[in-house]
Amino acid sequence: MERQLLQELKLRKEFDGAQDYDLVLRAVNRIWPDQEQILHIPKVLYHWRCHVGSTAENPRSKLWAYEAGCRALQAMVDLRGYQARAEHTEHMGFYRLQYLGDIWNSRPMLGTVGGCVLQRNHLTGGRYTREGELLYKGLHKGYSGYMHRAAMTQDAWAVDIRCIAVAPTLREDFGRVMGVPYKGRTLQDDAGNCWEIFDVAVLPRDTDYRALSLEWGRELEQRGYHAIWNPSLKIEG
């Protein structure tokens, strides 16, 4: 992070225990939506040792720090104007957003929300990269993967059309890409939220679901929309 930005944003005492998290969230908000300024360095840059009283070894030793992290996320949500509530997950230090009301109204540039496609309790469809790689492929539905990433809601380049909800304003375009009108059916996620997902039964049996998923991803990108992968939304493929 550039020194000037760090000095301008400063650490906020009211988020002690999670002031670094709060700082990163506010920095991301500052450069939004130019996410190309956010880079991942595929290296281990530092590590630390654990002891009985450390948060790394015993997360419950500093619950106040995780509470501060949840408040930091809520502050970011409020700053963005999202109608959502930040919550803890079953994994300490990892959070989720529960949207209050219609997610499409709260996030107008969100075009799609996708979930998991499971076969025999293992992931066979869900979040795709631009190159068509299925992330977390084969993972058992009871596992959360490395650093619990597979259990976290996150941005996606493309999501599987077999478990996809499309913003009402884009359903006509979605139908054009699929070659059939958008027909919805209701599906409830693990948190009890109801989604109107696309009824894939209207497509021919020999449909290449991955190819169409990637094609819709390209359509969203070209039009400036984005997608979210919600792993609590699941179907048996």
Task: Please tell me the total count of domains within the chain.
Answer: 2
Per-residue pLDDT of the chain (237 residues; tens, 9 = 90+): 889 999 999 999 999 999 999 999 999 999 887 777 888 888 988 887 777 666 666 666 688 999 999 999 999 999 999 999 999 999 989 999 999 988 999 999 999 999 999 999 999 999 999 999 999 999 999 899 999 999 999 999 999 999 999 999 999 999 999 999 999 999 999 989 999 999 999 999 999 999 999 999 999 999 999 999 999 999 997
Determine the structural domain holding residue 115 and report its residue range: 103-236
pLDDT of 58 reads: 62
Dist. CA 126–CA 142, nearest whole Å: 15
Same structural domain for residues 38 and 92?
yes
Same structural domain for residues 119 and 167?
yes
The tokens 């409830």 sit on which residue? 188
Same structural domain for residues 115 and 223?
yes
Dist. CA 170–CA 176, nearest whole Å: 10
Instruction: From 129, 124, 111, 218, select the one nearest 162 (Cα to Cα).
Output: 124
pLDDT of 60 reads: 65
Name residue 134's amino acid. L
Same structural domain for residues 140 and 209?
yes
pLDDT of 36 reads: 79
Same structural domain for residues 43 and 117?
no
Neighbour count for residue 200 (Cβ, 10 Å): 21
